[in-house]
Structure 1
Amino acid sequence: MESLVKELEKEFGSRFVTKREIIDQYSSSPYLVSPILSKMGKRILGVVIPEDVEEIKHVLEFCDLNKVPLLARGAGTSTIGQVLPITQSIVLDIQKLNKTLEYDKTLKISPGVKVLSALNYLRKRGKELQVYPSSFYISTLGGYIAGGDVGIGSFQYGYHFHNDGVKAVKVMGTTGSLNLVGDKTLAVSQAAGTTGIITEAELSVIDYEDWKDQLIRTEDIGEVVKLLKVLEKDKQSIRRITVEDRETLSLVAKDRVFAGKWNVIVSSTKSYGEEVEMKFLDELAFAAVYVTMSKLTGFSDYFYEVRLLSLESFLRVVGQVKDILGPKVLIHGDVMTLRGETIVYTVFISDRSNFEIIDSIMLKEGIPFEIHSLVVNDRVDEEYRLELMKKYKKIIDPHNILNPGKLRE
C-alpha cells in the first residue's frame, strides 16, 4: 500500500491529502451511532478534494486502472453507514462541487450544495423542496440523493425520490457519464454512491407555506392511531407528523413543553391542536433521533431498531412493547406515506438486553428493515428499484470500485 500511496501523491499532488487527522476524520462516519456498524470501518488511504468534474474523471480513471476502491462523500451526515469505508479506499470529498444552484420551475444543483443553502435560496422565491432531511442545516444535496430516503415532507410525498422528486441526475463512473431522467433516477437515489458519483441533479420544488407546529396530547395509543387516520385525509395541508411517547419528548423538550403519555406533533397551515414553539423538533426527525437520544438517554447499553409499520401494526406492536417495558423503552415515530399507505417510521430505543422482547413482538408484525446493515439491499423496500441499481452498477462501474460491499448483486 505504501507504493500505491506514493503513486497517488505523484498523480494528484496537493489534492491528495494524507494528514493523520484527515485520515482519522474520513475513516469514520461521524453521525453513525449503531454499535454494530461503528466497528466495521477501515482506515482510508487518503482524501481527494476535486474542484471540478474533470478532476473526478481523473480520479475515477486512476482508481479503475489500479483497482482502488473509491468512496464519494458529502458532509458525512449519514447515520446508517453509507459513507463508512469498509475497505481500504480513497475518499472523494465532493463538497467543493457547489457552484450550481438555479431555479426555473425546478431546482438544478451540483452535489456539494448544502440543503440549507438550497432552502434559503428557494424560500426567497416562495418555494421549497418537496422533501428534505432533518440534517438540512449541515448535509449536502448530493449526499441526500445518494443516501437518504425520508425526511421533512414525507407525510405528503413519501420518499424524496417518489412523486418525481428527483427529475434528473447526472452520474459519472469508470465507463463515463450517464444522464438519467424520470424513473431511471431511481438507480441512483438511495444507492449510496455505488451506481455512480453524482455531478448534477434536478429536483422538484413546491410552494413554501408558513407551517405551524402544534401539539396534541393523549393518554392512549389507540387515540393516536384514530387521530392519524383523520389526518391522513388532509395530507396536503400537513407538512409532517411525529409521534412521541412521554419519555422521548420529555428528554428533548425538558421544561419547554409539557408532555402527555402520547404526543402527536403536527406541522400544518391548519389548526389541529395547541400551537407550540418547537425549534428542537428537528432533533427528533427521522435519523436525527438516533444521534440525539444516544446522547440524552441514561441507558447503559444504548441500542435502537427501526421498523416501518402500518397504523394497525404500530398500534399492536407498540402497545405490546410499552405494556411490557413501560419507560424502559423510548418510542419515536415519523408518519409518512409510502405507495399510498400511511406508514409510521417507528424507532425503538432501549438497553440492548430488552431487544429480545421487542424483536419477539416485531417478529410477527414488523416489516423487514435492517437498520444495522451497511448493505443497500437491506434498506431498499421496492424490488424494481433494487434491480435498477444492480443494472446501472454493471453499466457504470463494472469493476466494482465505487463503495464496494454496499450493493449485493
Structure 2
Amino acid sequence: MKLCDEYRIPLVPRGAGTSTIGQVLPIYSSIILDMNDMKEVIEIDDKWVKVTPSVKILRTLDYLRRRGKELRVYPSSFYIATLGGYIAGGDVGIGSFQYGYHFDNNGINSVRVLGVTGKYTLNGKDTLAVAQAAGTTGVITEAELAIIDYEDWKDQLIRLNDLEEVVKILKKLGEFRSKIRRITVEDYEALSLVGKDRLDKVGKWNVIVASTLSFGEEVNLRFLDELAFAAIYVTMSKLTKFKDYFYEVRLLSLDSFLRVVKQVKEALNSNVLIHGDVMTLRGEIIIYTVFISDKSNFEIIDSIMLKEGIPFEIHSIEVNDRVDEEYRLELMKKYKRIMDPHNILNPGKLRL
C-alpha cells in the first residue's frame, strides 16, 4: 500500500467478487489485492463472531450453527461469498426482514482497517465508514459481526389471488417480525419456474414465509435462500424463455408495490415475472422488487415507474448512488480523506 501510494498506483482489495454491481471491477488500471488467501480466523462469544475478511460465509454459518448460532443477516451468495466482501459491498440478505441492512442497529461491533496512513480500529457508528464503501476507505483485516440464536425456520407457502391480498398479509406479518426470518413474494410465472418439480400447486400470487410460527402450508423450499435478492435474476436468466432477457430492480414501499406491479401486470400479463424480497428499512416494510422480461418491454415498465415518481435504479458502481443515508456517505468521505488522502484505494467509486 505504501509503495502504491508513493507512485499513485490504484489498488483494489478483492474478496470472492460475487457482487452484481461491479464494486471490485477497477475503473483505472490497478493492482488487485486478492484477500482470499489471507489467514482465516473465526472466534465466537454470545453476541459476536470475529472473522478475517477471507472467511467464506458458508464456512462461518457452518461454524456458528454447530454452536447453535447464525449470522444475523447474510447474502444469498453465502455459498461462495467472503465476509470481507459482504461487509464492504453488501447491504441486505437473509434476515433483512428482521433486522434490515446487515450493518444497521449495531450489526458490526468493530472493524479493523488498514489504510494508506496506518491501521485503524473503528467501533459502533464509525464502522459505517467501511460498510458498503467498496474498499474505498481501507482494507478490512478483521471484523466483529452480530450473531443470533439459530432457530428451526419452517418455509411456508401462502397462495393468494390478487395483489391487494398480498399487501394486506405483508402488513399483518409485520406484527411478527422477530419470529420471521425472511419473506418472498412470487407471481405465478416466477414460482412455477423455480418451484418446478418441488410444488404441486402454485397460486396467482405467492407469499413464502420462513418462520417458527405457523402462517401457511409448510413446504420444502430451502433452495430459495440461494435465490434471494440478486441471485434470482441471475438464476432466471437460465430458466426463462425470454429471447432478450433483461431485469430491473426497485425498492418499493407496500403502497408503491401495489400501484406499480398492478399496472405492470395489467400491461404485460405473463410476459413479465415478478419477484420480491421483503425487508425492513428504518422501520418500514420495503420490497426489493425484481421485474424480469424481454428488454423491449421495459419502455412500458419504465414509463409506469416515472409516472409513479420512481426513477431510482439501485445498481451503480459508484458508492454515492447506492448509499441512501447522507450521514453514512459523509462518514465514508471523512475516513477516505483520513485513510487514503491520495485516493489510490478503488478510485472512482466514491465521489468526494
Task: State the TM-score bracket (shorter-chain normalisation).
Answer: over 0.9
Distance 2:5 2:236 in 1: 41
Shift of 1:280: 2.2
Distance 2:264 2:271 in 1: 10
1:82 aligns with 2:23: yes
Residue pair 1:214, 1:265 contacting (<8 A) in 2 also: yes
Equivalent in the alignment of 2:161:
219
Map 1:327-406 → 2, pairs under 5 A: 327-365=270-308, 367=310, 369-406=312-349
Choose which of 82, 85, 101 in structure 2 pairs with 1:140. 82
RMSD (Å), alpha carbons: 1.2
Residue pair 1:283, 1:292 contacting (<8 A) in 2 also: no
Q: 1:308 to 1:217 in 2, by over 3 A?
A: same
The one-letter code matched in structure 2 to 1:280 is F
Q: 1:364 to 1:180 in 2, by over 3 A?
A: farther
Residue pair 2:315, 2:322 contacting (<8 A) in 1 also: no
The one-letter code matched in structure 2 to 1:406 is K
Distance 1:123 1:200 in 2: 21
Residue pair 1:307, 1:366 contacting (<8 A) in 2 also: no
Shift of 1:367: 4.9
Distance 2:313 2:246 in 1: 14
Distance 1:401 1:210 in 2: 46
Shift of 1:180: 0.7
Q: Which has the bigger relative contact order, CA under 8 A and spacing at least 6? A: 2
Distance 1:287 1:98 in 2: 29
Distance 1:109 1:204 in 2: 11
Equivalent in the alignment of 1:96:
37
Three-state SS of the structure 2 residue aligned to 1:405 is coil
Equivalent in the alignment of 1:124:
66
1:168 aligns with 2:110: yes
Distance 2:178 2:195 in 1: 27
Q: 1:291 to 1:65 in 2, by over 3 A?
A: same
Residue pair 1:313, 1:366 contacting (<8 A) in 2 also: no
The one-letter code matched in structure 2 to 1:139 is A
1:326 aligns with 2:326: no
Residue pair 1:154, 1:160 contacting (<8 A) in 2 also: yes
Distance 1:115 1:98 in 2: 15
Equivalent in the alignment of 2:251:
308
Distance 1:241 1:381 in 2: 23
Shift of 1:372: 4.0
| Unpaired stretches in structure 2, ≥5 consecutive residues | none
Shift of 1:282: 2.4
1:261 aligns with 2:188: no
Can you list the C-alpha shifts for 1:250-281, whole angstroms capped at 9, x where unaligned? 11111211321111000000111011111321
Number of aligned residues: 350
Distance 1:272 1:288 in 2: 25
Map 1:253-292 → 2, pairs under 5 A: 253-257=195-199, 258-292=201-235
Distance 1:384 1:140 in 2: 27
The one-letter code matched in structure 1 to 2:24 is V
Residue pair 2:161, 2:203 contacting (<8 A) in 1 also: yes
Can you list the C-alpha shifts for 1:101-159, whole angstroms capped at 9, x where unaligned? 00012111100011111111111111111100111111100000000000000000000
| Unpaired stretches in structure 1, ≥5 consecutive residues | 1-59
The one-letter code matched in structure 2 to 1:96 is D
Q: 1:366 to 1:234 in 2, by over 3 A?
A: farther
Residue pair 1:80, 1:371 contacting (<8 A) in 2 also: no
Can you list the C-alpha shifts for 1:169-213, whole angstroms capped at 9, x where unaligned? 111111111111101111111111111110010111111100010
1:70 aligns with 2:36: no
Question: Percent identity of the aligned residues?
Answer: 73
User: What is the TM-score normalised by the length of structure 2?
Assistant: 0.97
